[in-house]
Amino acid sequence: MTEHSIPDAAISSGWRKSSYSGAEGGSCLEVLDRHPHGTPVRDSKAPDGPAIVVPSGAWSAFVDAVKGGAFGGR
């Protein structure tokens, strides 16, 4: 069965902040590379909280859409 969430994201090390997160803090995403079931994503304000695991193809499509300006922003 594929893992869809990590109840306690703090058990994993190597989280990195999204390059699209602002320097002023606040709403920041962190991702974890090289997870066997996809890309875990967590809220940086809740490092001990849960993380969702997004399938690799869906994560790549999301990142491409963000870079392409589909959601405004940068």
**Which pLDDT score, from 0 to 100, does residue 2 have?**
57
The pLDDT tens digits of the residues spanning 44-72 come to 889 899 999 999 999 999 989 988 999 87
8 A C-beta contact, residue 59 and residue 68: no
**What's the CA gap between 41 and 27, in Å, rounded?**
13
Give me the residue spans of the domains in the chain.
5-67
- How does residue 1 score in pLDDT terms, banded at 50, 70 and 90? very low
19 to each of 3, 11, 28, how far by Cα in Å? 25, 23, 9
> In the numeric block, which tokens belong to residue 21?
């997160």
Give the H/E segment covering residue 17: strand 16-17
The pLDDT tens digits of the residues spanning 8-30 come to 999 999 999 877 666 666 678 89
pTM of the model: 0.78
